Each structure stands twice: as C-alpha cells, then as structure tokens.
Structure 1
Amino acid sequence: MTPRKSPPALRRHKPSKQGVVTLNGRDHYLGYWPDGQKKAPSDLQAAYDALVAEWLANGRRPTVEAPPPLTIAELILQFWERYATVYYRHTDGTPTSEQENYKLSLRPLRKLFGKLPAAEFSPLKLKAVRQTLIAADVSRGVINQRIGRVKRLFKWAVAEELVGEPVHRALMAVEGLKAGRSEARETDRVEPVPDEHVDAVLPFLPTALSAMVRVQRLTGMRPGEAAQMRGRDLDTTGEVWVYKPARHKTTWRGKERVVLLGPKCREVLRPFLKPDPDAYLFSPWDAREELFATKRAARKTKVQPSQICRRKAKPQRKPAAFYTRHTYASAVARACVKAGVAHWHPNQLRHSRATEVRGAFGLEAAQVVLGHARANVTEVYAERNLTLAARVAAETG
C-alpha cells in the first residue's frame, strides 16, 4: 500500500473546541477553534503548518521530544523510594533513625528548590538551604550533618546518572560551619551528670525507667541499648552476665556489641526478667499499669459504677513495646523538673561511667566498656582525671 502524499488534515474537535491533527496515530491539539467558524484561525493554522513541516522533514516519523528536566522534588522522591527506604533499615526490615534524619534534612531543600531542575542546583543554593536552618535556630553540628545528607543525595544522583558529576563536585566545595565562626547556635559540651542529680530524679520516674537509669549508669550503655534489653539477648549463666544487643549503633558495620553486667546491675535487672524471652525488660505498658495502680490506691472516693471500667476495647493509642531514646529523654526531663535539679540527658550517664572507669582503670578500660574501636573516640566521653597532674604541680611546680 502506497503512503498518502498529502499530510493529515487539520480538523475541529467539537467536544473540546480545539483544532487537532493526527500524526502516526497520535492526536496533537493545537489550540482554540471558535464555534461557527469554518476556517481555522490564523494562529491555529500556523501551528498546524509548523508541526506538519517538522513531521515531513523527519520522514513522516514522530519527532522525539526531549524529556522535561528532572526536578529536585523528583530526585528526592527517587532517592527515597530506590535507596533510603532500602538501605537505611535494620536486619529485621524496620527503618533506622537515619530515615527520619533524611526527612528532616531534605525537607527545606524540597521547600525552597523543589521545582528547580536538579542539574541547576549550585553551592550558593546549598548555602541558602543552610541559612534557613540557621534562621530556624538549629545547632551548628546538626546543620553540618543535614547539609552533608543533601550532598549525599547528589552523590547518589551522580552514581545513578541522574545529574552530572560537576554538580556534586561543586557542592563538595561548600565547607561545614566552623565553631565560633558562624551565626549558627553552638551547643554546650556534653558533661558527666552528677550522681546526686541522678539520685534525685529516680523517685519521680516509673519503676521501669528508674531501673533503666541505674542500669545505664552502671554499664555506660547507650540509651537505646538499655531501652531495648530482652531476655533473649542476655546470658545469665555466669557470674558476670553478658548482654549482646540485637540492635546497636554499629550493627550495620557487622560489629558485635558486648556489655558485661556486674552484681549491682544483676540485682537491678532480676525483678524485670520475664518468662517470654522476646519481651522487653523495660516496658511502657508495665509503666502505664503501674501508674493506673498507683492512682487507684490513692483514690479517696468510692468508685462509681460508670467508672468501674472506662478502658476502650480498641484504643487508638497504645503503649509501645519499648522506650525510644526520645521518650526516655522526655521522661527524664519531666522528672528533672519535678525533682528541682538541672536538666540532664540520658546520654550523659554514658559520659559519667566513662569518666569513672577511666579514672580508676585507665583509658583502655573505658574504651572497652563503651565498646569503642578507637581510644580517641572514648576521650570524647571520658573526662580527664586531673588529680595526678594537680599533685605533680603541687609537689614540683
């Protein structure tokens, strides 16, 4: 069958009142065609002539339209679906905290430059994102972490050939904010918490949380490690118990974390051991039941029939299986207010233990207790004991 010599005609599409031409089975709508006008408007005819001329010049084949440039919002979506949700998760499939960190880091980028082509993102635009974080009173260290995640977004995009390598190389030229040399808020150095402040807070915490504080103070565990203790993770056969957290900060590196529990720690833990090895020792559910029991015991008036059981069969909010580091820290903060002591954070207990062990047994012992691979990391946690230096100065200086 010989192909037709004349190009397809321009015709009027009644429902949409537009001029249309069909090329290679695809309809091309070219603009408005008023009612009652038999001849196409001049601008419509010009659009038709240009389209057909291009089609004929291409050998009556459809012209390949260049895809629209990838926007930053689209890049973030691809990064999230193809990488972040796959890579940043625990071995059991649950997301790590880094997923939430990326949400917080990429949100201002999407808000400011979501519609911008990703290939046009530049160092000055990255600094504009950073400035919004400074204006939001985010601390300098956190700002540097979040900007680093934005850079890693573009590093991934380069590896996937979504943007050119010069884009990422240019962003790497933006240095992190230096201490005391920017408008960003500086945070105080994390110091060990005085034992008297810890003891003052314990009566104002639920029994489970009070025990968790004592265990963390005795072992130097991270808050998350203490909160997620289970019977399955404990070896109670020896004189010194062994705790191997199923999850910890360096799980993704394939490293094993071992925490040794001495006699004081064992006595704290014994009342919380449960028949179910998968049950968490320090349970928010148990804390809630303890609160209800305390309120019932303190009640002075008679319980009315309508008040006997007000619990919902299917409540919308239920206690979690274990405390997170955020709920743990919030409970300690409330207890500090009730106790009338300066606010302290659970991670300071780790610093307290490190300083205590370093003073008594040396830096290497503190390194082993904290589970650090390098001693220089331990020095961040363990304050130097200047007693010996003071004695040297007094006797020889």
Structure 2
Amino acid sequence: MANSTRRATISKPDKPRDDFPLFAHNNGLWCKKIRGKLHYFGVWADPQAALDKWLDQKEDLLAGRVPRAKSDADELTLEVLVNEYLAAKQSDVEAGEYSSRTFQGAFTSCESIVQHFGQRRVVADIRQEEFAAYRKSLVKAKYAPNTINTEVSRCKALFNWAYQAELIDRPLRYGPQFRTNKKSARRQKAKAAPKMFEAAEVRQMIDVAGTQLKAMILLGVNCGFGNTDCSELPQSALDLKGGWVDFPRPKTGVERRAVLWPETVQALREAIKSRPEPKNPEDNGLVFMTTYGNRWVRMEPSKTEGIEPHWQDGLTMAFREVVKGLGLVQKGRGFYAFRRTFRTIADESNDWPAINMIMGHTDPTIGGVYRQRISDERLRAVTDHVRAWLYGGQEGGAK
C-alpha cells in the first residue's frame, strides 16, 4: 500500500493541430528547441497565447538573439505576465539556478494570483487596495500565517520581475496592508505542537512501510531528506559500499554530504533492486520510481480542458496512508517533518557546521567564509548521534 501512488491516467496534451510548432514539456509549459536550447512559451491551458509568443519572438530566437520583451504597460495582461514569468523561471531551472520545488511553488502561487485578479486584468492598473483585498482573501481562506507570508512574497516577486524585465514602465505600489507578518507567524509557531516525530513513531513507520517508502523514511531521518530530495536522488550520488551520499540540494544547489547508516544502505539496495521500470528514459538513473514508473514528485496535466496542470506528490500521499494507519496523524507533520526531526536531534551533537553540511544549509557567518572543509569524522559523529536516538535501547539497534 505505502509503496504505491494514484495511477496516472492522464498525459501531456496533444498539439491543438498538426502544424502547431510547439510541444508540451512535462513542466506544464509549451516548448520548442531552438539552436540547441529549450525555450518556453506559456502554459498548456492556453496554446494560443504560447503560439502568439512564439510568433512574436521567432525571428530573434532563430537568429540567436535575446528577444526584447514587449513593454506596452497599458496592454500587458496578467495572463501574459504569468506566461513570461514562468517561462523565465523554467529557463532558470534548466540552468540549475532555480530548483524544481521552488518552481512548483511559484507555479501554484501564479495560479492563485490569476484566479483572484483575473487573467485579462491589465497589470499596470492593479492598485494597492486590490493587493490588500488579495491578502484579505488568504486570511479569510484560513491560510496559516507562514503560508500567507509566502504567498505575499511570491506575489511581489512576480510583479517586481515584470518591472525588471521591462514589461511595465514603473513598479507597482503594494500599499502598507500587503505585507508579511512575522509576529503572527512566531505566535503560531509558539502555540503549535512540535512538527517532528519521536523515535518510537519513526520505528513504527519503518516497520510497516513498503520497500521504497521505507528507504525514503530512513533518508529523511538519517540525512534530513525531503520529498523532492528523494524524488530526484540519482543512483550516482550514492556510495553504498562506503556508506555515503553526496547530493547537492535540488532546491538550492548547496553542497550536501552525509553518512548512510547500515539500515539505510540495506533499504536503498532493496529499493533499487525492486524499482519499477521508468516510463521516461530520462529517469533511468533515479533511485526511486512509483509503481507505475513515474517520479514520486512530478507535474501532471489537468483532466479538465482549460485548467492548469498541477504538481503530483505521490510521496506525500503514500506517507499519509502509513501515518493514518498508525494513528499518528497530526497537522504539520508530513514527510517533510523528517528534516525538522533530523535537525532537532542533530543539534544536540553541538556541531552546527557539520549539521549544515549534511542538510545542505549555508553558513552565513564569517566562520562559513573561512571554513574550508569539514572532516568525515565530524559528519559521522552527527549521524551516529541521531542513530543512537532512533535505535537506542532497541535490540539489534545502535551500538
């Protein structure tokens, strides 16, 4: 049960006609390869807008020039802006400067923004009272303070980009009400139950999880891996004989190295051995695949015409089944809570630079500038401490 996810019965959309010059990329955008590089022209749900953009930029792209964006501030609609923005961010993903997880968040937020303001809304005419109304709608929908802060920041990023890209002649004024509220977020955190798992709970999950999910849970508590980390983990990042993983975080590209416990190594061997054949040949080198040969975290088209594609997180669904079956459901404790669990327990080892290396966190202090390396012995000491916490006192556990 925990080793499966919902069957993908939908696929990328067909071209609207035989001579349509673009193809549907699996990131949810219409795409064309020009002079050896992929270029993106808009979301699947609006092939006409994507075609219009292609025709507008065709001459420059074929000549190897960077197309100059249109800057008619009186005509730029939110629909066009979102298409331009997502295409630019997908190019950043291809260049390794923007993670797929961050793109996923931007994509979802753009959907929410378009739904609220309207796709034909002229960008330059949006006023501060409308931004305030958007924030109020998030509060009314009972989003958590942290989520509201994130949505406000993503919304500002979209419209700030429009000005930087010369799509509008002046920056928009958001007004004093369209703001983040860190105080509310801190109050929420203080009132909420800890968003981590206890050792006994983790052991229960490991005992009942299927082959792949068991390995992913162990990566979560052993190394602080999250959903996208597991989904995008290549076999080339693993040294199962030596017991190491070297895998920069997909979200940030920050270097990450960790010791793999014997239990994690064994679970990974079993997961790789029983891994289903990938549907996409590009996924052949990945460690994990769903029962149907898909990535655990991926873009899926909508079943309904005119509705944007969405991100499918099979890992979240499979993990929810296990947690529900064990009676361990608690708000805020999804699979990503393993990163919080690892950090909380690892901090007790008092070697924060080593912990940052394992989790792929940057060190903003002056020490991070001068520090040139962290020994493997220090990394091992951290993961040994977490393993002792997890298996301490258990027969056959940490020694």
TM-score by length of 2: 0.57
CA contact (8 A) 2:215 2:268 kept: yes
**Partner in structure 2 of residue 205 of structure 1:** 209
**Partner in structure 1 of residue 179 of structure 2:** 175
Distance 1:74 1:261 in 2: 46
Q: Which runs of 5+ in 1 are unaligned?
A: 1-66, 286-317, 377-397
Instruction: Give the deviation of 1:126 after TM superposition.
Output: 0.6
Distance 2:223 2:339 in 1: 8
CA contact (8 A) 1:231 1:278 kept: no
**Partner in structure 1 of residue 326 of structure 2:** 339
Within-5 A mapping of 1:193-272? 193-236=197-240, 238=242, 241-245=243-247, 248-251=250-253, 255-272=254-271
Percent identical residues: 18
Cα distance change, pair 70–183 in 1 and its aligned pair in 2 (3 A): farther
Distance 2:213 2:339 in 1: 16
Distance 1:278 1:205 in 2: 24
Aligned length: 271
SS in structure 2 of the partner of residue 162 of structure 1:
coil
SS in structure 2 of the partner of residue 208 of structure 1:
helix
**Partner in structure 1 of residue 392 of structure 2:** none
**Partner in structure 2 of residue 18 of structure 1:** none
Cα distance change, pair 157–375 in 1 and its aligned pair in 2 (3 A): closer
CA contact (8 A) 1:357 1:365 kept: no
Instruction: Give the deviation of 1:127 after TM superposition.
Output: 1.0
**Partner in structure 2 of residue 306 of structure 1:** none
Instruction: Give the deviation of 1:105 after TM superposition.
Output: 2.0
Within-5 A mapping of 1:95-106? 96-106=100-110
Aligned letter for 2:266? E
Cα distance change, pair 337–93 in 1 and its aligned pair in 2 (3 A): same
**Partner in structure 1 of residue 347 of structure 2:** 358
SS in structure 1 of the partner of residue 341 of structure 2:
helix
Q: Which runs of 5+ in 2 are unaligned?
A: 1-71, 278-282, 299-311, 366-399
CA contact (8 A) 2:73 2:168 kept: no
**Partner in structure 2 of residue 282 of structure 1:** 288
CA contact (8 A) 1:84 1:99 kept: yes
TM-score by length of 1: 0.57
Larger Rg: 1
**Partner in structure 2 of residue 60 of structure 1:** none
The answer as to 2:141 corresponding to 1:136 is yes
Deviations 1:135-155 (A, max 9, x none): 222222222222222212221
Within the candidate set 153, 172, 195, 1:191 is matched to 195
Instruction: Give the deviation of 1:246 after TM superposition.
Output: 6.5
Aligned letter for 1:162? L
Distance 1:128 1:101 in 2: 21
CA contact (8 A) 2:222 2:264 kept: yes
Cα distance change, pair 341–118 in 1 and its aligned pair in 2 (3 A): closer
Instruction: Give the deviation of 1:242 after TM superposition.
Output: 2.7
Instruction: Give the deviation of 1:209 after TM superposition.
Output: 0.7
Within-5 A mapping of 1:126-165? 126-165=131-170
CA contact (8 A) 2:149 2:180 kept: yes
Distance 2:350 2:185 in 1: 38
Cα distance change, pair 334–170 in 1 and its aligned pair in 2 (3 A): closer
Instruction: Give the deviation of 1:75 after TM superposition.
Output: 4.2
Instruction: Give the deviation of 1:273 after TM superposition.
Output: 4.1
Distance 1:146 1:224 in 2: 20
Distance 1:180 1:81 in 2: 30
**Higher RCO structure, 1 or 2 (CA under 8 Å, sep 6+):** 2
Cα distance change, pair 373–338 in 1 and its aligned pair in 2 (3 A): same
SS in structure 2 of the partner of residue 180 of structure 1:
helix
Instruction: Give the deviation of 1:119 after TM superposition.
Output: 1.8
Larger CA deviation: 179-188 vs 328-337: 179-188
Aligned letter for 1:175? R
Instruction: Give the deviation of 1:354 after TM superposition.
Output: 2.2
Deviations 1:228-255 (A, max 9, x none): 33322223453xx33233662212xxx3
Distance 1:128 1:184 in 2: 22
